[in-house]
Amino acid sequence: MKNKIEEYLKKVQEFHADNLEQLENFRIEYLSKKGKIPSLFADFRNVAPEERKEMGQLINSLKNAVQNKIVALKEALEQSSQSDGTDHDLTLPPNVTLGTRHPLSIVRNEIIEIFSRIGFSVSEGPEIEDDFHNFSALNFPPDHPARDMQDTFFIEKDPDIALRTHTSSVQIRVMENSKPPFRTVLPGRVFRNEAISARAHCIFHQVEGLVVDTDVSFADLKQTLFYFAKELFGENTKTRFRPSYFPFTEPSAEMDVSCNICGGKGCNICKYTGWVEILGCGMVDPFVLESCNIDSKKYTGFAFGMGIERITMLKYQINDLRLFFENDLRFLEQFKSAY
């Protein structure tokens, strides 16, 4: 893997583009969803534990080199076009500007990248789920309130099919189709039948995480989330865990981070407590493991889940969740970047 990264890095350093089309093909080759760098992150889970730190640093160096190369070549091509006045495409509309990444996409990708550095793969699943994967296998009893129509969008013709209410359903699919050990994050869009307001929406996004192995403990969960919080919000971020309840984990907890808006002094965002809750977590309930034919006497695991909207609002100090869904260019252009 190291030789492959070094080979890619050499090609990046030698690459030269004569026009924007060549530059775009270069970007797609390395940075698109099926490009070389995402493929390296996918292969990262197969790297030996003692080599992960070095390989992670090499992959990130390659990614930075590609991004810097794109920015430098783009600026050079634009300056060359303006200076000689001969390389203009007259068929293009005037005042063409670059689009912007959606803030939810920015934060989603940042969360995935943080966990990729410590060996997590990425798993995805369907948005329309059956009762087993969305509820039963996760230890939701038949009379649980989450099954009620006020929380779940059921498919009218089949009451056992619904729009998924969490990406925990993907955890079940991973455990059904994989043999431990494994560690993965599960990003995706979820749906709940809630009134739309500044703090709630019927559509939102989650990133969940799942680790199953021998001798996995709550201490492993805490250290993983300590690392994540400091990487996302900064080294000075403080964290705390509070006991909680979820049907699919036992014991369960909610994790708070110190409010980065007021510095922990208290404001309306943190309700003057100095803390903001960002995720729920816990040890995977043995019932859930057994539902997926995993021996709960041999294996243990932990899981966590966070709402991308809440973290994005905290990270960028956004006070109205509806802004994420209204396609207001005045809002989106604040997140403009080179690519």
Domain ranges of the chain: 2-86, 104-335
For the record, the structure tokens of 250 come out as: 């036992």
Predicted structure pTM score? 0.67
Of 63-67, 128-132, 260-264, 333-337, least confident by mean pLDDT is 260-264
Q: How far is CA 302 from the centre of its chain?
A: 17
- pLDDT score for 89: 67
Q: Residue 284 in contact with residue 210, Cβ under 8 Å?
A: yes
Q: Residue 232 in contact with residue 311, Cβ under 8 Å?
A: yes
Please give the helix or strand (H or E) that residue 20 lies within, else none: helix 20-31
**Going by C-beta distance under 8 Å and a sequence separation of 6 or more, which residues neighbour residue 290?**
296
Residue 84 has pLDDT above 70, yes or no: no
pLDDT band at 61 (very low <50, low <70, confident <90, very high): confident
Alpha carbons 251 and 168: distance in angstroms, whole number: 17
Topology at the third CATH level for domain 104-335 = BirA Bifunctional Protein; domain 2 (3.30.930)
Q: Where are the alpha helices (DSSP H) in 178-328?
A: 218-233, 286-291, 308-316
Q: Residue 100 in contact with residue 333, Cβ under 8 Å?
A: yes
The DSSP code for 199 is: S
Instruction: Provide the mean pLDDT of the chain.
Output: 86
Residue 2 has pLDDT above 90, yes or no: no
Residue 338 has pLDDT above 50, yes or no: no
Please give the helix or strand (H or E) that residue 7 lies within, else none: helix 2-14
